Amino acid sequence: QVQLVESGGGLVQLGGSLRLSCVTSGFYLDTYKVAWFRQAPGKAREGVSCISADGTTKYAPSVRGRFTISRDISKKAVYLQINASKPEDTAVYSCAAGYELFRMCRLNQDYVYWGQGTQVAVAE
């Protein structure tokens, strides 16, 4: 069965860095699209970044230049490196996945499998 488990969240000082992990099972990373979403208090869930089956990446404008998505196929893991953190980065971060061989991933919510999320808090 497909499973996604996030970890790495916590409290970080303004401008600090954090790396989130999404450990996957039940599928091959090079046949799926995987994305990171976040939901801040009182706000709707938004797509942050995604990585396609071929390794192509995409970022939301609000995090471009600060966040980096990557994967380690041998470890079946997808990561989100957060740098130069801002208070508005405070949110529950979730990873999501869906089977997609050929098309570029998108930051919509068209993902079948979802993790439970990990909390990130940026101190002001």
**What is the tens place of the pLDDT at every residue in 39-80?**
999 999 999 999 999 999 999 999 999 999 999 999 999 999
Mean pLDDT score of the chain = 97
What pLDDT is stored for residue 124 in this prediction?
87
Residue in the block written with tokens 């970080």: 12
* 79 DSSP β-pair partners: 21, 70
CA pair distance 86, 63, nearest whole angstrom: 10
Token couple for 102: 């050929």
